[in-house]
Amino acid sequence: MTPPLHSLPPIRWPAEAIWEAVAPELPGFTVEVLPEIDSTNSELMRRFKGAPGRPPQPEPLLLVAEQQSAGRGRLGRSWQSRRGDSLTFSLGLPLVPADWSGLSLAVGISVAESLDPPGAGQARHAARPRIGLKWPNDLWLTTPEGERKLGGILVETASGEGLRYLVIGVGINIRPVTLADFPPTGAAPVPPAGLQALDAGLDAPGALLRIVPALVQAVQAFAQFGFEPFQARFAARDVLAGRAVQLTDGTQGTAYGVADNGALRVLAAGGMVEVTSAEVSVRPVAPGFAGGAAPC
């Protein structure tokens, strides 16, 4: 039985340190931590749109939830989280990039590099777990035992009063998760991974501090230059490259990385195709892969 939130020790979030790092780049930026909410993405969307008696709030805001009751992922899928076991937050800010293509990939690159810096594997033994990216919005943790889903990203936008508002939701499992905690909804044979398999001393506040300042910089770079400068960095973590995959429309083929617009390139029976919107599964499913993970 999960103890009530009021009986648990407080989590010390680095809100001030994050604000100091981000505010010079994002004027008006604020940080807010809530003990529980339905969904951080949904809440930022509600605030941006406003309501009777409450004006729209288009300001840049980092909203962290210690626990979510109705977290969600792509295609309306529901995700679960528990206080301290996962990191769930959403970053909202006005953004007008020249091209939105590949934004979720750029976000994934930034998050993965913040938690597992490039070249860090050379400092340890070859079996060190590392974070890879599965197109279009999943983080995988690769270990000697196999591949498991570490987290997910949900990017949404809204328009109103001449503004375009971007909401980036990130959910990452921190502690090891068992099937008894969160039974999988699909055919996933094993539970998802936890970030502490990569760094046993890293908790949710520490991960947040690593992620957010770099994420703001990455989003601003994307707005200016698009996805192309991120392409090679994605390729270095692309867990689908060279693997047999299947799309939701039944198309089967081999993944050949991503194009400079972030589209997944798949060599199918009829030739090379670029996929901009689809669910992709490895065929056959990789041993140790789990399909459920973190919320937004």
Q: Does the structure show a pLDDT above 80 at 237?
A: yes
pLDDT range class, residue 50, cuts 50, 70, 90: confident
In this predicted model, what pLDDT tens digit does every residue of 85-94 receive, in sequence order? 999 999 999 9
Q: Does the structure show a pLDDT above 60 at 11?
A: yes
pLDDT range class, residue 281, cuts 50, 70, 90: confident
Residue 240 φ then ψ, to 5°: -90, -20
In this predicted model, what pLDDT tens digit does every residue of 183-218 receive, in sequence order? 544 444 445 899 999 999 999 999 999 999 999 999
Domain boundaries, the chain: 5-237
Residue 294: the pLDDT is 44
In this predicted model, what pLDDT tens digit does every residue of 86-121 receive, in sequence order? 999 999 999 999 899 999 999 999 999 999 998 765
Give the span between the Cα atoms of 290 and 181, in whole angstroms: 14
Residue 77 buriedness (CB in 10 A; 0-12 / 13-18 / 19+): middle
Q: Which helix or strand (DSSP H or E) is residue 217 part of?
A: helix 204-225
Residue 176: the pLDDT is 75
pLDDT range class, residue 34, cuts 50, 70, 90: very high
Domain at 5-237: CATH architecture: 2-Layer Sandwich (3.30)
Contacts of 47-55 with CB under 8 Å at 24 or more apart are 47/92, 48/92, 48/158, 48/160, 48/165, 48/167, 49/158, 49/160
Residue 293: the pLDDT is 39
**For the whole model, what pTM was predicted?**
0.86
Which of 95-99, 218-222, 285-289 ranks highest by mean pLDDT? Answer: 218-222
